[in-house]
Amino acid sequence: MTNESKISRLAGALYLVVVMTGLFSLMYVPSQITVSGDSHATINNIVAHSSLFRAGIAAFLIKQVAFLLLPLVLFRLLRPVHQSIAALMVALAVVSVPIALVSLVNRLDALDILIGSYSQAHTPAQLQAQALLSLNAYGNGLLVTTLFWGLWLLPFGYLVIRSGFLPKILGAFLVLGGLGYVAQVFWQILVPNLSFPDFLLFPAAVGEIGICLWLLVAGVRKRQPSAA
């Protein structure tokens, strides 16, 4: 196995961790906990399913560690295509990690407010209000994080397209997916009362899962980079 193949497999493995922990913490856990339009039911679910809520927090932490390492490994693989754009890719990905971790603190705060020792000194109504504030702060932080989750896919997708050793179609999906994430962020800020069209996030799912599996299973073809 060549050095490039080893780097590709490592990148694919890290990406798989990011994808799996992301699906669990950002999709499965909220689907079991959050009740749309009913904050009281959501709070009750957090208390009733605190172990699942904690597992989601733990998975999100693992996701951030893997996502911190992933662009560094991809940089080694894609640097020959265009070093400056590869560095931009790393910067846009890495900057999202501290924002996400700071946001996650609010989720821990909500848990402590509801079932920690803090809960004994306040009325249920006060606890619910404070917990909702923490959850809203987490959601706002996650929205800002999503901006960078979209932005890093733009240089990443470009490098995949220009590489000559990774499928161009996956690079195109990554770019479209990045634009979809960015559009979602500004949509929620500017027109929060209208639902974002979920189909615009489909390219991101195809591109990220596709490139993850390609790196992990197929690796890289013989390097034939286009002129950068």
Higher pLDDT, 96 or 39: 96
Average pLDDT over residues 88-106: 97
Token pair in block for residue 223:
């390097």
- pTM given for the model: 0.89
First to last CA, the chain: 27
117 band by pLDDT with thresholds 50, 70 and 90: low
Output 6 or 99, whichever has higher pLDDT: 99
Structure tokens at 74: 């991809």
Backbone torsions φ then ψ of 87, nearest 5 degrees:
-65, -40
Predicted confidence (pLDDT) at residue 119 exceeds the cutoff of 70: no
- Please, what is the angle between helix 50-78 and helix 83-94, to 10°? 170
Q: How far apart are CA 120 and CA 127, in angstroms?
A: 9
Collect all residues with Cβ–Cβ distance below 8 Å to 134 and sequence separation of at least 6: 106, 107, 109, 110, 113
Please enumerate, as own/partner, the contacts of 51-55 that have beta carbons within 8 Å and a separation of 24 or more.
53/29, 53/111, 54/111, 55/24, 55/29
Residue 68, pLDDT above cutoff 60: yes
- Confidence (pLDDT) at 168: 96
Q: What is the pLDDT of residue 118?
A: 62
Q: What is the pLDDT of residues 9-35, one digit of tens each?
A: 999 999 999 999 999 999 999 999 999
